[in-house]
Amino acid sequence: MNEKKAPSELFPERLRSARKLRAMEQSEVAAKSGLPPTSISHFEAGARKPSFDNLRRLAQALEVTADYLLGQVDEPGMSAAADPLYRDVQKLSGKDREIAKEMLAFLANRKSES
């Protein structure tokens, strides 16, 4: 019998998973979210739970939804099921996501100039 983990139990795993998905170190997540590096470490170890504000900051820094971090959905992006292109972008590292964003902006600008 599989028991579903509570969001507070799943959060450390999801935070670590999202950080690795984006190929970021804890210090990079800390800098991007404006949180101390020790907080990221404590969150991943399960020693502390984030406030709502810090949860939002972490989700924004990692470009995932808070629902993903809390284990409410299995895909990092809320709209992942709606658009295959978006779903695939969600699987990229942080640097590759930036390249993809630049490419999409280039293609969008090219179409508008036509």
Task: Indicate the domain borders of the chain.
Answer: 7-113
Residue 85 has pLDDT above 90, yes or no: no
Q: Which residue has the tokens 């284990």?
A: 71
Burial pattern 11-29, b for ≥16 Cβ within 10 A else e, equals bbebbebbbebbebebebb
pLDDT of residue 79: 42
Cα Rg, the chain, nearest whole Å? 16
Please give the average per-residue pLDDT across 21-34, as a whole number: 96
Please give the average per-residue pLDDT across 54-72, as a whole number: 92
The 3 state secondary structure assigned to the chain is CCCCCCHHHHHHHHHHHHHHHCCCCHHHHHHHHCCCHHHHHHHHHCCCCCCHHHHHHHHHHHCCCHHHHCCCCCCCCCCCCCCHHHHHHCCCCHHHHHHHHHHHHHHHHHHHHC
Residue 25 has pLDDT above 50, yes or no: yes
| 1.10.1740.10, 2.60.40.10, 3.30.930.10, 1.10.260.40: CATH of 7-113 | 1.10.260.40
